[in-house]
Structure 1
């Protein structure tokens, strides 16, 4: 029997769902709050419970919060399934918190980019890190849509560009791609720092990490271009803003929302079944529509207008991945270096 580690469930925003009255151990799911929590509670979890006599308790938190919970509960995990960004998920895997998902038939239907080595986790949603831009501003100025990571250094964007800080995944992706463009990579990041400092930083208005502030800068036409996520741009464009998203020719970087079944779960089979449910075409459609996550399940069908705004179909082939196993041990060092040399 699990110890109850969340005694103030209502205060914490945790909700319980269930069909039976004599469930011994609930299925605890640690995942994002906000719109993800709303979609899970209103659509994803109720659909799961139509076919499973279970109780589900949802524990909201961002990826850092969820990873911290796993670390605090090491050896006596309360959470059964966790959803996190791919960077923290790789940390969870390396710390031994994720149980292998090998043997799950649903894995055969997942895009290769969403598969983790040894299948200790699986991507359930795809976001592309690429270029968000104001299509009207580009048209007025006679600019072609951005097409390469090298465009960030184009002097015509001076004072009209945002690259988020390295503390934000979009900024980290930019650093890695800048290094790759200049003969380096995750294991030789120096060329990336030099390129951003000397060629890109002079164009940058601000290293803004906030999605709300980024939207404001776009709407006020203070910026024309930013490194951003496809889902973020889709949300902004849905307000009527003339935004567009471009995939760099060298590849947009995949930012995955990933799921794992925790090692030591009281009900590992039910945890795997919930992840299988997340990968069903029906759940993938909900997450694409509500969250702007491109489907990780290759057989998911989306309406044309939604498919056009997400990494979907052939666009998945334009995604590249970064080596989180190389990045995570160095990220603090890189962050300190970025703060000293880039954002000073």
Structure 2
């Protein structure tokens, strides 16, 4: 009797214990799932059309595949580099995507960790391997853009050389970026090379910009959007342009023609690295590899004019014609010595402000 009563009395207690255990397990599982769902990857890159492309066409698939939230931190390459320097040792950004010049500075400052080995790296053009810690993820070319209709009306031949920038017929009709802009810096280095100098002897470049090109320049314009506006208004008919920027203006229907000068267009890469220290190192490495995949490389080419650095990407002729696509064009691009440039860039900027753009 007592035994039966004792067993009956224990039954509700056991049921309560099982219910409590079930609730605890459920709460624990929910907490684990919530924590996983809340994993966040911070990716820094430029704003504008590039930011929109990543947010709408690139990031969603990665988030779904990895169960992660990707936050895009917009800013130009100089701003991103400044953030990384300010946060050194306590980084909040996991992946940084910057122009190659600032990326080389980041490498010199030890801000990037070594890239993990992955098959996709075997498919890249050699120029994309900036270092063991950073890779190019897209490439554009610095060259010359001109208003094709304006040239035809004047009976002028199409430009075909960097030397065309010095032609007096373009007096006050030339738009030029300053050397604080990568396109302008490329022009400075190329003119120095054409005058017997180079990165280690920049004097001939400064002299050419001031005395030969300067008289033709209506305005030194650092903002690409402002340069587009001057071209559209007819204030200038020729300018130093990037192939990616040219695609953006051409998409509006404006008759801008972009040319690779016969001496060569100059390579400007968009580069990426995984920042160190990195709370999400594995995901950061996976994101970079994802951006190098043929699918994302094609999205970048179609949407933003970034030529693929992955050799396996096949682009239709109408897209390929707008960028340095394929081994012949990529291998013909001129490369600059960023290590030397970055050591002197501050001095060059001061000199520029003092002697050219006064």
1:98 Cα deviation from its structure 2 partner: 0.6
Secondary structure, aligned partner of 2:257:
strand
> Does the aligned pair in 2 maintain the 1:158–1:204 contact within 8 Å?
yes
Instruction: Note closer, same or farther for the CA distance 1:44–1:75 as it changes in structure 2 (3 Å cut).
Output: same
Deviations along 1:162-206, whole A, 9 cap, x unmatched? 111111111111000000101111111001111121211111111
1:102 Cα deviation from its structure 2 partner: 5.2
Q: 1:75 aligned to 81, 85, 89, which one?
A: 89
Q: What is aligned with 1:55? A: 69
1:340 Cα deviation from its structure 2 partner: 1.6
1:141 Cα deviation from its structure 2 partner: 2.4
1:21 aligns with 2:23: no
CA–CA separation in structure 2 for the residues paired with 1:53 and 1:199: 56
Q: What is aligned with 1:296? A: 309
Q: What is aligned with 2:318? A: 305
CA–CA separation in structure 1 for the residues paired with 2:130 and 2:226: 33
Q: 2:351 aligned to 331, 337, 342, which one?
A: 337
1:25 Cα deviation from its structure 2 partner: 4.4
CA–CA separation in structure 2 for the residues paired with 1:144 and 1:115: 38
Count of aligned residue pairs for this structure pair: 324
1:191 aligns with 2:204: yes
- Is 71-80 or 120-129 further displaced after alignment? 71-80
Deviations along 1:108-148, whole A, 9 cap, x unmatched? 1111222213x211111111100000111222223222111
1:332 Cα deviation from its structure 2 partner: 1.4
1:161 aligns with 2:192: no
Q: What is aligned with 2:152? A: 139
CA–CA separation in structure 2 for the residues paired with 1:39 and 1:193: 37
Instruction: Note closer, same or farther for the CA distance 1:150–1:102 as it changes in structure 2 (3 Å cut).
Output: farther
Q: What is aligned with 1:95? A: 109
What do you get for the CA RMSD once the two structures are aligned? Answer: 1.5
1:238 aligns with 2:248: no
Q: Decide which structure has the larger Cα Rg and report it.
A: 2
CA–CA separation in structure 2 for the residues paired with 1:216 and 1:200: 21
CA–CA separation in structure 1 for the residues paired with 2:40 and 2:154: 58
Secondary structure, aligned partner of 2:34:
coil
> Does the aligned pair in 1 maintain the 2:42–2:72 contact within 8 Å?
yes
CA–CA separation in structure 1 for the residues paired with 2:210 and 2:173: 16
Q: What is aligned with 2:333? A: 319
Which runs of 5 or more structure 1 residues have no equivalent in the other structure? 1-19
> Does the aligned pair in 1 maintain the 2:116–2:285 contact within 8 Å?
no
Q: What is aligned with 2:56? A: 42
Q: What is aligned with 1:104? A: 118
Q: What is aligned with 1:328? A: 342
CA–CA separation in structure 2 for the residues paired with 1:142 and 1:112: 41
> Does the aligned pair in 1 maintain the 2:138–2:306 contact within 8 Å?
yes
Secondary structure, aligned partner of 2:235:
coil
Could you tell me the TM-score, scaled by structure 1's length?
0.90
Q: What is aligned with 2:269? A: 256
Q: What is aligned with 1:64? A: 78
Deviations along 1:215-271, whole A, 9 cap, x unmatched? 222122222210011111111111111110000111111111110011221232221
- Is 88-97 or 295-304 further displaced after alignment? 295-304
CA–CA separation in structure 2 for the residues paired with 1:275 and 1:265: 14
In terms of fraction of residues, the more helix-rich structure is 2
Secondary structure, aligned partner of 1:294:
coil
Could you tell me the TM-score, scaled by structure 2's length?
0.87
CA–CA separation in structure 1 for the residues paired with 2:181 and 2:319: 26
> Does the aligned pair in 2 maintain the 1:25–1:266 contact within 8 Å?
no
1:172 aligns with 2:188: no
Q: What is aligned with 2:134? A: 121
Secondary structure, aligned partner of 2:67:
coil
Which runs of 5 or more structure 2 residues have no equivalent in the other structure? 1-32
CA–CA separation in structure 2 for the residues paired with 1:300 and 1:200: 38
> Does the aligned pair in 1 maintain the 2:247–2:304 contact within 8 Å?
no
CA–CA separation in structure 2 for the residues paired with 1:76 and 1:215: 39
